[in-house]
Amino acid sequence: MITAEKFAYVPQCEAHNCILLFHDLSKSHRRRGCSMVICGNRIKVAAYRNRKVS
């Protein structure tokens, strides 16, 4: 049975060109990318660049 609580940790990937949803099973539920191979590395690199430029 699908309920609203099952979708509590199903965010959309934060990469600008990705439309995927994923089930966030991380301990802190702060995962931002659908896959480290596909989008996660790009998100982390962008965050690093933003920290270094500012």
Say which residue the tokens 């430029």 belong to: 53
Angle (CA) 36-39-42 rounded to 5° is 100
Find residue 21's DSSP bridge partners.
Answer: 12
Question: What pLDDT does 31 receive?
Answer: 86
Tally the domains of the chain.
1
The structure's pTM equals 0.65
Per residue in 3-51, pLDDT (tens digit) is 777 788 899 998 888 899 988 888 998 888 888 888 888 888 888 999 9
Residue 24 lies in domain: 4-53
Question: What pLDDT does 1 receive?
Answer: 64
Which tokens hold the place of 16? Answer: 């600008």
Reply yes or no on whether the pLDDT at 2 is more than 80.
Answer: no
d(CA 21, CA 27): 18
